[in-house]
Structure 1
Amino acid sequence: MTTPVTGTAPAPGRSRRRLALGAILHGSGGHIAGWRHPSSPPDGQLDIDHHIRLARTLERGTFDALFVADTVAIWGHQYDSLRRTARADHFEPLTLLAALSTVTERIGLVATATTTYNEPFHIARRFASLDHLSAGRAGWNVVTSVVPLEAGNFGRDTHLEHGARYLRAEEFVEVVRELWDSFDDGAVVRDTASGHYYDPAGLRTPHHAGPHFTVRGPLNISRPPQGHPVIFQAGSSETGRAFAARHGEVVFTAQTSLAGAQAFYADIKARAAAYGRDSDHLLVWPLLSPFVASTRERARARLAELQELVHDDVARRLVQDNIGDLDLSGYPLDGPLPPIGATNRSRSRQELMLDLARRENLTIRQLALRFTTVGAVAGTPEDVADHIEEWFTSRAADGFTISFPYLPGAAEDFVDLVVPELRRRGLFRHTYGTTTLRGHLGLPRPRAGIGGAGGTGGAGGAGGAGGAGQPVGAGRQAGPGAGEGNR
């Protein structure tokens, strides 16, 4: 069943489109060698003051949201390469965002949480709590895990198979939405005179029983200020697009060309409409990694400087871990890719890398370096603004997921140099006009009490799991811009 939505916020219609900007908070930087950059703190992964500075910089730039990626394991088990990256330790996202909610006022706070190695009650409660703590600024990046190491941390000998992960994910999202609707809006009255803390007529117990989860409920916290925290996803593969079209409100994607981005944009919007949804309520945010300087030459030099810091071991593992389940240790880095088989990891990421390798005739080393620069734009503030404007006005993007290659410098350059240029062109806000993440994005507030999956479609089953003739579990997520577990 679909959850119809109502709200007073205007939809981001075609005559009133406004550019959206979200930023990934990667500790020392989004580039694999960003932690080695002279201006990045090597201990930035676990430095709360560093993260507070970044969050306040982004809020000064009136960003819609900041996003923290995650896996529930270290980011690789090949220690030859892992020891040369900053991916062995990182904050648990919701803990970090709860802290940042106390030092920010408007910027949205988005965290990854996997449906593979969590339980719906835990996730519903944590994101409802973050939404209350932040006064309506929470977002959930829904992922299915692709890192096999995660299985071993949860008592499993093997990682769940690709299709099984998405069968679980469909039901997981349905249960979380049911739990968020445990209380009606206004049901928690806290009436000291009558002695009623809540109105019993406004409390519902889901009593969910499905193939993967049995959850009685209700949730032990009142309805989130936004109704539901905003649902983020990264659906770029065929099944990922179907999943995103049913459930997503913001979709991360990595695209290597304007034409490809336009095709993805049109496709995902059409899929949303086919599920009975308003396509303007599903926003598409391609990845952007900006290198900004006073001249193009200086910007390109900054990019080249980071590329030089990528160690051979790291280059090999970048390809090996993202293109599939294979061992490249016996192949020369400056030679071609060997034959690549199917993967139980990210299929869309594998397709992206194979397409790059074939289209540009790349060696393993070249593919690794090319992969680190997917979404990269190196140039002056005007050059970066030109790229953003072209993709936005030509219907390739509603906004961008910005991965700053090194931090804090790249974020400060963007806020101080590119954001004013976007404002000058009338593309981006000067001040926040609303207080919630849904308000920033022009997304309606879900109405309580309908229940079921597909929370932003029209009434009936068209927008829900399995609607429009689609089998439950047909979803898949993907895209390197979304980080860690989106396949």
Structure 2
Amino acid sequence: MSTPHHQMHLAAFVTAGPGRPGGWRYPGSEPGWLSASYYQHIGRVLEQGKFDLMFFADILSVPDRLGGSVDSQLRYGALGSLRLDPTPVLASIAAVTDHLGLAATVSTSYLEPFPVARSFATVDHLSHGRAAWNVVTSFQDSEARNFGNDRHIARDQRYERADEFLEVACKLWDSWEDDALVMDPAAPLFADPERVHRIDHEGQWFSVRGPLNVSRPPQGYPVIIQAGASPKGRDFAARWSDVIFCSHASLESAQEFYREIKERAVRHGRRAEDIKILPMATPIVGPTTEAAREAERRLTDLVEPLAGLSTLSYHLDVDLSGLPLDEPLPDVDVPGVQGHYKEVVEMTRRDGLTLRELGKRYGGRTEGEFIGTAAEVADSMARWFTEGGCDGFTVGAVHTPGAFEDFVRQVVPELQRRGVFRTEYAGKSLRDNLGLDRPRAGAWRERRYGG
């Protein structure tokens, strides 16, 4: 079952904890981050708005990249100050929703393929085919130190490990044939041993015998999300991803990225439409344009510069604490997320920002084109979509749950009126709603290396 090609897809970017250093202080923000009912409510709201999926970001440490201290993260409620394990959160949301896709971020750098494949197969079964895995490689030494290592794996090596990790996960999901679970009490035959297979994987990074002790997921493989922005990361994403999450400061940079990834996908032996590219959009909706801009100013005022800079230091993997706050961000060698660096360089040069101003702006992380009335926000989103910048958006919330409630109540009907967004779900599974085929066993082998 396919979603009409001319309609955009929407994912919601959520954290199992406070998301933005100014947002948790904003009037109306509800601090329910330690309660399952909090995330269940957001899930219901997003399903009411016909969102494709709810995507939980995650990291494996409290970042200390700014000045070697966790102070700014904890003090200001910045990135990683509090993060619940997202996978159990998905299971709680699955219990109260029927169509919404459920994505969790899990790193390939420090975990092992068997428990990760088992976990996502479990969520896919419990949700009747709505699980998704945001694959990250991690990149911070602070994360490495939580897993018994002094330093993080080098960039090329972590993508090599991730590549093999995905291969092993797919082999494990394929270790049960689709009809292996018989459950015939009369025979008796619970599972057919002839249709369940060891994988006997021996590689550079992993040795895994198998089979998985969970039957093949309803979707074949859970939907794979990735956000690679470096050349190596883009190649990895083009090979493995069903959905790519990215961030752009302009439509022009989004269009360039969109063209390149689709071309890479074809070189990997895939169809361009097999990958959905969903750049980040963080709308602020108001009854008037000026009211929305005033809300943006209030949110920005609530962001301490060091809160935003600590988050930027984490994303770039560069200690910015020694740089002058009242001068622009200089050229720096960035071992971290290349996409975020390109975004802030573009922002700094376009708007003439000092590092202090960049810290406040980055901590708030709003995009100017998506601030205004519901009609104006919908117009901007439709423009990016129809002019080849994306297949839809990953929608962030400046405060929760209110910003998601505003978007669903006000912007979604505008998108529907423009004919660019669904009024009903296409099917039950996440793959149905994304217009993606269910992969047959062994489908991962058809994706070529070196694209």
Q: Is TM-score (shorter-chain normalized) higher than 0.5?
A: yes
Matches within 5 A, 1:257-406: 257-328=250-321, 330-340=322-332, 342-371=333-362, 372-376=364-368, 377-406=370-399
Alignment partner of 1:184: what SS?
Answer: coil
Q: CA deviation at 1:28?
A: 6.5
Q: Write the distance in 2 (CA, Å) between the matches of 1:424 and 1:277.
A: 33
Match of 2:70 in 1: 79
Q: What is the letter of the counterpart of residue 184 of structure 1?
A: E
Q: Write the distance in 1 (CA, Å) between the matches of 2:384 and 2:331.
A: 34
Match of 1:24 in 2: 13
Pair 1:51 & 2:43 matched:
no
Q: Write the distance in 1 (CA, Å) between the matches of 2:164 and 2:351.
A: 40
Aligned counterpart in structure 2 of residue 126 of structure 1, from 110, 114, 119 = 119
Alignment partner of 2:122: what SS?
Answer: helix
Match of 1:35 in 2: 24
Q: What is the letter of the counterpart of residue 259 of structure 1?
A: E
Match of 1:109 in 2: 102
Alignment partner of 1:186: what SS?
Answer: coil
TM-align CA RMSD: 1.8
Pair 1:440 & 2:433 matched:
yes
Q: Write the distance in 2 (CA, Å) between the matches of 1:198 and 1:228.
A: 20
Q: Which runs of 5 or more structure 1 residues have no equivalent in the other structure?
A: 1-8, 471-487
Q: Is the 8 A contact 2:94 2:127 kept in 1?
A: yes
Indicate how the Cα distance of structure 1 residues 259 and 303 shifts in structure 2: closer, same or farther if over 3 A, else same: same
Indicate how the Cα distance of structure 1 residues 189 and 27 shifts in structure 2: closer, same or farther if over 3 A, else same: closer
Alignment partner of 2:420: what SS?
Answer: coil
Q: Is the 8 A contact 1:29 1:405 kept in 2?
A: no
Match of 1:483 in 2: none
Q: Deviations over 1:195-251 (max 9, x none)?
A: 111122211211000000000000001000111000011122222211111111100
Q: CA deviation at 1:27?
A: 5.0
Q: CA deviation at 1:49?
A: 1.9
Q: Write the distance in 2 (CA, Å) between the matches of 1:215 and 1:319.
A: 37
Q: Write the distance in 2 (CA, Å) between the matches of 1:320 and 1:154.
A: 21
Alignment partner of 2:220: what SS?
Answer: coil
Q: Write the distance in 1 (CA, Å) between the matches of 2:96 and 2:113.
A: 28
Q: Is the 8 A contact 1:290 1:402 kept in 2?
A: yes
Q: Which runs of 5 or more structure 2 residues have no equivalent in the other structure?
A: none
Pair 1:422 & 2:415 matched:
yes
Q: Write the distance in 1 (CA, Å) between the matches of 2:290 and 2:35.
A: 32
Q: CA deviation at 1:370?
A: 3.2
Q: Write the distance in 1 (CA, Å) between the matches of 2:317 and 2:41.
A: 37
Q: What is the letter of the counterpart of residue 33 of structure 2?
A: Q
Indicate how the Cα distance of structure 1 residues 157 and 106 shifts in structure 2: closer, same or farther if over 3 A, else same: same
Q: Write the distance in 1 (CA, Å) between the matches of 2:272 and 2:413.
A: 29
Q: Write the distance in 2 (CA, Å) between the matches of 1:431 and 1:339.
A: 47
Alignment partner of 1:190: what SS?
Answer: strand
Q: Is the 8 A contact 2:118 2:213 kept in 1?
A: yes
The sequence identity of aligned pairs, in percent, is 42
Q: CA deviation at 1:339?
A: 4.9
Alignment partner of 1:25: what SS?
Answer: strand
Pair 1:64 & 2:52 matched:
yes
Q: Which range moves more in the overlay, 57-66 or 191-200?
A: 191-200
Q: Deviations over 1:241-264 (max 9, x none)?
A: 111111111001101111111111
Q: Kindly tell me the number of residue pairs found equivalent between the two proteins.
A: 444
Q: CA deviation at 1:147?
A: 2.4
Q: CA deviation at 1:101?
A: 0.7
Q: CA deviation at 1:327?
A: 4.1
Q: Write the distance in 2 (CA, Å) between the matches of 1:415 and 1:55.
A: 12
Q: Write the distance in 1 (CA, Å) between the matches of 2:306 and 2:265.
A: 42
Aligned counterpart in structure 2 of residue 217 of structure 1, from 207, 210, 225 = 210
Q: Write the distance in 2 (CA, Å) between the matches of 1:368 and 1:178.
A: 44
Q: Deviations over 1:431-480 (max 9, x none)?
A: 223110000001000102x26x46xxxx4xxx23xx2x45xxxxxxxxxx
Match of 2:190 in 1: 197
Pair 1:238 & 2:226 matched:
no
Q: Write the distance in 1 (CA, Å) between the matches of 2:427 and 2:29.
A: 33
Q: Write the distance in 2 (CA, Å) between the matches of 1:284 and 1:85.
A: 29
Q: Write the distance in 1 (CA, Å) between the matches of 2:19 and 2:385.
A: 23
Q: What is the letter of the counterpart of residue 74 of structure 1?
A: V
Q: What is the letter of the counterpart of residue 384 of structure 2?
A: W
